[in-house]
């Protein structure tokens, strides 16, 4: 998911990266071991050019400003093609599927990762970051990435991409209005309906959530579905006609969106939903934790000092299983400069660079150590970071079929039935039965 938060000026890492005889003392800026402590030969590919395919994203904005530091450190040159999200996906698909050698490294979207991995379009990374001699494995420390993020970035136990950012479903709410309504906690998913009913005394439609066709409505619905104990498939057969799926649809679509959500919710993506919170038209919002960077942005929000966050609640019958979203970084199998690309990632995704990038923007790194950095935590007052990290650790990536190559078309089929419940008042049980049949057709 793309964050709308602007990124400030780059921090000066170049001095740390280029000092000779560095002993590995944590840098004053980041509190993490410096690049010089890696003991790596950073200039082994001096004079070469690395071609990158990047998507517009907070990470891209921040890292691009630091490219001169990488070039000074390695003697390499970077040529980056940065595209809007839709254009990026199209270009990545063409480049990877054709076996073109145009790009040496590229970002990998969460929804496309399964297609890329299963098709054999990405280079396995364990040999580069697991002690090959090119990258100091102990220094780079892939175990510092959240365990669910590593799992989602792997195929059959082999790391196929490196996690860039990590988000999971959370409950975002106005603590001032919640207090006035007597809402003190969200012990279960079902309690969100009770909270919305109480909040409706202050505003007619206090809930905000995504209802737009495609992954928008499906992404938020999945939080409710998994936490009801539901599973998408039994083998290859869609099982969204289960009692758990019906309960999730009744709860999110029929109750929260239809009864307490905004009019025109079927046209809402995360952008419109966050806008309703920022403008004071909603007091309760379920979405990805990365969107806190939007609702806490004082340039666009009127109520940043009243925003609070809660981890995803359990259901009455099962433990919380929040949905997730990761951006990743991979190396095309066809690349002729795989080692050079690995060296770039060793720099760009090191603890030091990851910490400085997130500390200046507040955007959610997939590195667990970043979430202990005081500068970064200043973006998340109170217990926000504790609630978010608990959710990131609770993610169960095997239960969300992003790795299934046909899931994008199946998710679209599911979304159409969810929208029929939202717009036409279709019975949830009938809608979920029709959704299972439609997903089966879409997956053939």
The 10s digit of each residue's pLDDT in 215-246 is 999 999 999 999 999 999 999 999 999 999 99
Residue 18 confidence (pLDDT) above 90? no
What is the reported pTM? Answer: 0.87
Q: Are 225 and 279 in contact (CB under 8 A)?
A: no
Model confidence over 246-270: pLDDT tens digits?
999 999 999 999 999 999 999 999 9
Residue 5 pLDDT > 90: no
Q: What percent of the chain has pLDDT over 70?
A: 93
CATH number of the domain located at residue range(s) 14-166+325-393 in this protein: 3.40.190.10
Q: How far is CA 179 from CA 129, 255, 261, 276, in A?
A: 49, 22, 20, 20
The CATH architecture one would assign to domain 168-323+399-442 is 3-Layer(aba) Sandwich (3.40)
99-111 burial string, b = 16+ CB within 10 Å, else e?
eeeebbbbbbbbb
Nearest-10 Cα torsion for 294, 298, 302, 305 = 90
Q: Do residues 175 and 195 touch, judged by C-beta distance below 8 A?
A: no
Asked if residues 161 and 113 have their Cβ atoms less than 8 Å apart, the reply is yes
The domain segmentation of the chain, as residue ranges, is 14-166+325-393, 168-323+399-442
Tell which residue, 94, 130, 150, 136, has the closest CA to residue 350: 136
More confident residue, 368 or 404: 368
168-323+399-442 shares the fold of 14-166+325-393:
yes
What is residue 167's predicted lDDT score, i.e. its pLDDT? 96
Is pLDDT at 327 greater than 80 in this prediction? yes
Higher confidence at residue 30 or residue 288? 288
* pLDDT-based confidence at residue 39 (cuts at 50, 70, 90): confident
pLDDT tens profile 372-381: 999 999 999 8
pLDDT (tens digit per residue) in 117-173:
999 999 999 999 987 779 999 999 999 999 999 999 999 999 999 999 999 999 999
Q: What is the average pLDDT across 96-125?
A: 95
């Amino acid at each position: 998911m793309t964050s709308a938060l602007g990124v400030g000026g780059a921090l000066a890492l170049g001095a740390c990266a280029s000092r000779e005889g560095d002993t590995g003392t944590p840098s004053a800026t980041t509190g993490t071991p410096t690049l010089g402590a890696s003991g790596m030969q950073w200039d082994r590919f001096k004079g070469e050019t690395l071609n990158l395919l990047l998507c517009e994203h907070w990470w891209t904005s921040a890292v691009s400003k630091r490219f001169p530091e990488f070039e000074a450190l390695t003697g390499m040159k970077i040529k980056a093609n940065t595209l809007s999200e839709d254009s990026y996906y199209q270009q990545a698909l063409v480049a990877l599927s054709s076996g073109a050698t145009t790009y040496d490294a590229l970002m990998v979207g969460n929804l496309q990762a399964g297609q890329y991995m299963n098709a054999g379009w990405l280079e396995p990374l364990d040999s580069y970051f697991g002690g090959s001699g090119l990258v100091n494995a102990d220094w780079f420390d892939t175990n510092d990435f959240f365990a669910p993020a590593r799992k989602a970035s792997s195929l059959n136990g082999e790391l196929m991409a490196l996690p860039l950012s990590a988000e999971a479903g959370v409950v975002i709410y106005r603590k001032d209005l919640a207090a006035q309504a007597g809402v003190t906690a969200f012990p279960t998913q079902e309690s969100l309906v009770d909270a919305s009913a109480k909040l409706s005394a202050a505003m007619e439609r206090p809930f905000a959530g995504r209802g737009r066709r495609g992954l928008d409505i499906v992404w938020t619905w999945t939080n409710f579905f998994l936490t009801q104990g539901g599973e998408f498939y039994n083998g290859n057969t869609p099982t969204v006609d289960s009692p758990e799926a019906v309960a999730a649809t009744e709860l999110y679509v029929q109750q929260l969106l239809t009864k307490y959500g905004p009019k025109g919710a079927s046209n809402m993506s995360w952008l419109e939903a966050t806008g309703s919170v920022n403008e004071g038209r909603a007091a309760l919002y379920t979405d990805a934790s990365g969107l806190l960077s939007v609702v806490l942005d004082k340039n666009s929000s009127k109520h940043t000092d009243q925003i609070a966050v809660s981890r995803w609640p359990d259901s009455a019958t099962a433990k919380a299983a929040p949905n997730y979203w990761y951006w990743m970084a991979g190396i095309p199998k066809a690349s002729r400069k795989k080692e050079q690309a690995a060296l770039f990632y060793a720099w760009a995704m090191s603890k030091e660079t990851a910490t400085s990038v997130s500390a200046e923007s507040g955007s959610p790194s997939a590195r667990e150590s970043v979430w202990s950095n005081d500068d970064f935590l200043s973006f998340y007052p109170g217990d926000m970071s504790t609630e978010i990290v608990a959710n990131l650790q609770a993610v169960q990536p095997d239960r969300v079929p992003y790795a299934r190559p046909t899931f994008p078309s199946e998710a679209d089929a599911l979304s159409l039935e969810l929208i029929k419940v939202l717009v036409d008042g279709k019975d949830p049980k009938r809608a979920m039965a029709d959704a299972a049949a439609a997903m089966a057709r879409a997956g053939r």
